[in-house]
């Protein structure tokens, strides 16, 4: 007769990275180092894009917002992220976006890591933007306009400095308090920051334009006359059906780059265009199989919606980082009976 | 300037029910009471089936097994389960099936509960089977054959006793050690148990036949000649593409009842039949809108695959149970900056 060990075996435990431990890990490495490392993991995974099992995220929409599951897998690992988007959450002291995720072993189906991903999503979103900027921004770009100065703003700025060398920022938000918050944080990080009173003012002289607003509606954060030639637009905020930031006329002037067309056509700026409007897949650019920026006058647009592979890369990075560290705690998430067929015996012996 | 509290606020924490706490909760209530309560929650949710946002589970298949996400939502709550199925896991001391799940608020997108679901899935699967048995088993059924005596076996037996009053069991497994394990556990629970040396012997005199095997292949656990008239078949093990337990000829003789046809046609025994073969949805039976068992000679078949709403019901039950209890621990899963737009400030202040 088998007897249950008094404490669960190692198989029962899943490493858990809490918000506090994620912050410790990021601060120990330095945010910009993390951005560069994350971008390297993401680039590595984009370059082996065909190896992944891909599906558009599974969204559950309500009047208040959306809850999404974003799974993907390669031959070795499976990952998914849970993420919500609730634009009115701030009114009750909740985050607009919160997230957590899991990395698992394909061979056993067992989770290898459970991690907070609110902070990690902010990091990976910015790292992806800047990685794309490395391929698409005009050569020698030094100035970035940032329209929307919410929770994602500072992360974008740090990523673009770490990866693209951009240090001059022009900030605008419909809420001056948001701009003041970003000014404070970014000045402290050594950026040359200019607060602006309109989107039109913010884009003056910018080679990169980042739009990152949170309203769940079709807005026009950028109108056609605000966008001159030779810029790269990093459009972050339009990321679900009925939520866009750019005027349609900008889209028809730009060369559009996307993560996963099947998802972006539903969620991105290009939901405003015909379903067969040409787009370029970024993984092909990163593999050298498709052209990125052709010339200095071209308008390039990264229609960012966030794809599961970026979260997978981020979870891989965290999983590698916590090995041998104290940035995690073991969580008793998995039942581990001595005899795997005797789950019931484990239960009765625990009584 | 806002300052970050030294410890996260209540909003940052998600109640977590570990395996150890789940076992404490179940043992404190008693397994059969939990089965009855779970069945009541599941029945309640089946009776309001049209209120749910439903989708077939999102499966990632590999040679070794499958990892699935099973989301669903009503107007108030969103729930999902992560579950794997890896038939060869036992060889390395891993569970064939492990699971965990989350219940969230639709209004904010915030998780309300993170729970182990390996034990809970075993409970809800059995509770669902017995709930269905209440509607479909022949009147006065006293004997159940159980083919496949693995991890799910005892849970099925206890649920059928708690909900259908069945106390006599006839057990068969291709591995005699599995039958011996189940004999030991079920005798200790006061069942009248008969070990059998073949499936054909096990079904002799049984009014209910439960098949619950784990091989990931199209097997014939029950052949046509083994199934007489007037039985209810509770087919648990056939639950993914290419994994079935019953000979096709049984299916054409039986009236087939399913959870969610869109999923069962892919995963259940009826993957062997034409896509338009008639099936009855159980929620309609439970609402009195479709006929259950018509007469004593009919063969009824519950083609069980497990649907997300059953997990949702189980998570609802656990969430209600832990309120005011010590069956959970708070987990620092969600970032909670004082200023929701100042996630970056939270990070730097933590340094």
Residue B155 included in any domain = yes
If asked whether residues B161 and B270 sit together in one domain, one would say yes
Least Cα separation, residue A250 to chain B (angstroms): 28
Tokens of A344: 């019931």
A-B C-beta contacts closer than 8 Å = 255
Percent of chain A with pLDDT over 90: 80
Q: Which of A239, A303, A311, A338 is catalytic?
A: A239
If asked whether residues A154 and A295 sit together in one domain, one would say yes
Assign B255 a pLDDT band (cuts: 50, 70, 90).
very high
- Whether A345 sits inside 8 A of B185 (CB atoms) is yes
- A110 touching chain B per CB within 8 A: yes
DSSP state of B241: T
For the segment B321-341, what is each residue's pLDDT rounded down to a tens digit?
A: 999 999 999 999 998 888 888
Please say whether the beta carbons of A322 and A25 come within 8 A. Answer: yes
Q: Is B165 helix (H, G, I), strand (E, B) or coil?
A: coil
- Whether B24 sits inside 8 A of A350 (CB atoms) is yes
If asked whether residues B152 and B281 sit together in one domain, one would say yes
Please say whether the beta carbons of B155 and B126 come within 8 A. Answer: yes
- B76 touching chain A per CB within 8 A: no
If asked whether residues A135 and A252 sit together in one domain, one would say yes
DSSP B3-65: ---SS--GGGEEEEE-HHHHHHHHHHH-HHHHHHHHHHHHHHHHHTGGGSB----EEEE-SS-
Residue B124 included in any domain = no
Please say whether the beta carbons of A288 and A28 come within 8 A. Answer: no
If asked whether residues B246 and B184 sit together in one domain, one would say yes
Give the nearest partner residue to A23 out of B26, B341, B350, using CB atoms: B350
Least confident of B34-43, B115-124, B240-249: B240-249
If asked whether residues A162 and A262 sit together in one domain, one would say yes
DSSP state of A96: S
If asked whether residues B237 and B248 sit together in one domain, one would say yes
pLDDT of residue A4: 40
Residue B198 included in any domain = yes
Percent of chain B with pLDDT over 90: 80
Distance (Å, rounded) from C-alpha B309 to C-alpha A182? 43
Q: Which residues of B touch A345 (CB under 8 A)?
A: 181, 184-185
B203 Cβ contact partners less than 8 Å away, ≥ 6 residues apart: B145, B147, B170, B209, B222, B226, B227, B231
A21 Cβ contact partners less than 8 Å away, ≥ 6 residues apart: A327, A328, A329
Residue B347 included in any domain = no
Assign B7 a pLDDT band (cuts: 50, 70, 90).
low
Tell me which residue of B315, B308, B317, B314 sits closest to B54, measured CA to CA: B308
- Whether A62 sits inside 8 A of B341 (CB atoms) is no
Q: What average pLDDT does range B260-284 have in this prediction?
A: 94
- Whether B185 sits inside 8 A of A119 (CB atoms) is no
Residue B235 included in any domain = yes
CATH of residue A42's domain is: 3.30.1780.10
**Chain centre to alpha carbon of residue A296:** 27
Decide if pLDDT at A2 tops 70. Answer: no
Domain count, chain B: 2
Residue A1 included in any domain = no
Name residue B73's beta-bridge partners.
Answer: B53, B78
What does residue B335 show for φ and ψ, rounded to 5 degrees?
Answer: -70, 140
What does residue B65 show for φ and ψ, rounded to 5 degrees?
Answer: 170, -150
If asked whether residues B64 and B144 sit together in one domain, one would say no
CATH of residue B202's domain is: 3.40.50.720
Assign B271 a pLDDT band (cuts: 50, 70, 90).
very high
A63 Cβ contact partners less than 8 Å away, ≥ 6 residues apart: none
Q: Which residue has the higher pLDDT, B238 or B334?
A: B334
Q: Quick one: which H or E segment has residue A178?
A: helix A176-188
If asked whether residues B186 and B299 sit together in one domain, one would say yes
Q: What average pLDDT does range B32-51 have in this prediction?
A: 98
Rg of chain A in Å (alpha carbons): 22
Give the nearest partner residue to A67 out of B8, B69, B104, using CB atoms: B104
Instruction: Give the CB-side neighbour count of residue B9, counting CA atoms within 13 A.
Output: 14
Q: Which residues of A touch B73 (CB under 8 A)?
A: 60, 62, 67
* Residues of B identified as active-site: 239
Taking a contact as any Cβ pair under 8 Å apart, which residues of chain A between 117 and 176 contact chain B? Answer: 118-119, 122, 149-155
How far apart, in Å, do the first and last CA atoms of chain B sit?
Answer: 17
Residue A2 included in any domain = no
Distance (Å, rounded) from C-alpha B164 to C-alpha B159? 8
- Whether B60 sits inside 8 A of A53 (CB atoms) is yes
If asked whether residues A184 and A243 sit together in one domain, one would say yes
- Whether B340 sits inside 8 A of A96 (CB atoms) is yes
Nearest chain B residue to A185 by CA distance is B345
A 10 A CB-CB count for A262 gives: 12
If asked whether residues B219 and B326 sit together in one domain, one would say no
Domain extent, residue A325, equals: 10-119+309-341
Name residue B303's beta-bridge partners.
Answer: B235
If asked whether residues A158 and A240 sit together in one domain, one would say yes
For the segment A194-205, what is each residue's pLDDT rounded down to a tens digit?
A: 999 999 999 999
- Whether A337 sits inside 8 A of B95 (CB atoms) is yes
Tokens of B48: 């309001």
Assign B8 a pLDDT band (cuts: 50, 70, 90).
low
Residue A351 included in any domain = no
Assign B5 a pLDDT band (cuts: 50, 70, 90).
very low
Tell me which residue of A317, A310, A309, A259 sits closest to A115, measured CA to CA: A317
- Tokens 């390669």 identify what position? A74
CB burial of residue B156 (10 Å; 0-12, 13-18, 19+):
buried
Q: What average pLDDT does range A278-300 have in this prediction?
A: 97
Give the nearest partner residue to B154 out of A20, A64, A344, using CB atoms: A344
pLDDT of residue B148: 94
């Amino acid at each position: 007769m088998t007897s249950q060990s008094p404490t669960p075996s190692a198989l029962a435990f899943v490493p858990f990275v809490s918000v506090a431990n994620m912050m410790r890990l990021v601060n120990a490495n330095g945010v910009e180092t993390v951005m560069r490392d994350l971008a390297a993991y993401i680039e590595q995974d984009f370059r082996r894009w065909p190896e992944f099992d891909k599906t558009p995220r599974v969204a559950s929409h309500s009047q208040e917002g959306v809850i999404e599951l974003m799974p993907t897998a390669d031959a070795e690992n499976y990952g998914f992220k849970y993420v919500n988007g609730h634009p009115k959450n701030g009114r009750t002291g909740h985050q607009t976006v919160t997230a957590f995720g899991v990395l698992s072993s394909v061979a056993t189906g067992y989770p290898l890591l459970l991690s907070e991903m609110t902070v990690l999503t902010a990091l990976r979103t910015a790292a992806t933007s800047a990685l794309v900027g490395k391929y698409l921004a005009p050569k020698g770009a030094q100035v970035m306009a940032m329209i929307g100065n919410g929770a994602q703003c500072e992360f974008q700025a740090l990523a673009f400095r770490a990866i693209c060398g951009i240090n001059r920022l022009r900030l605008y938000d419909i809420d001056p308090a948001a701009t003041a918050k970003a000014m404070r944080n970014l000045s402290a990080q050594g950026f040359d920051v200019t607060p602006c009173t309109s989107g039109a003012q913010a884009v003056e002289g910018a080679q990169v334009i980042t739009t990152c607003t949170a309203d769940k509606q079709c807005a026009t954060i950028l109108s056609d006359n605000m966008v001159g030639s030779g810029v790269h637009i990093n459009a972050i905020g339009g990321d679900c059906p009925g939520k866009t930031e750019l005027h349609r006329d900008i889209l028809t002037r730009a060369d559009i780059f996307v993560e996963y067309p099947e998802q972006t056509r539903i969620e991105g700026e290009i939901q405003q265009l015909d379903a067969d409007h040409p787009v370029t897949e970024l993984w092909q650019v990163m593999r050298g199989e498709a052209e990125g920026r052709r010339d200095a006058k071209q308008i390039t647009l990264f229609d960012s919606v966030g794809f599961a592979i970026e979260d997978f890369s981020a979870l891989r990075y965290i999983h590698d980082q916590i090995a041998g560290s104290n940035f995690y705690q073991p969580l008793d998430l998995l039942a581990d009976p001595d005899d795997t067929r005797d789950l019931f015996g484990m239960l009765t012996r625990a009584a």
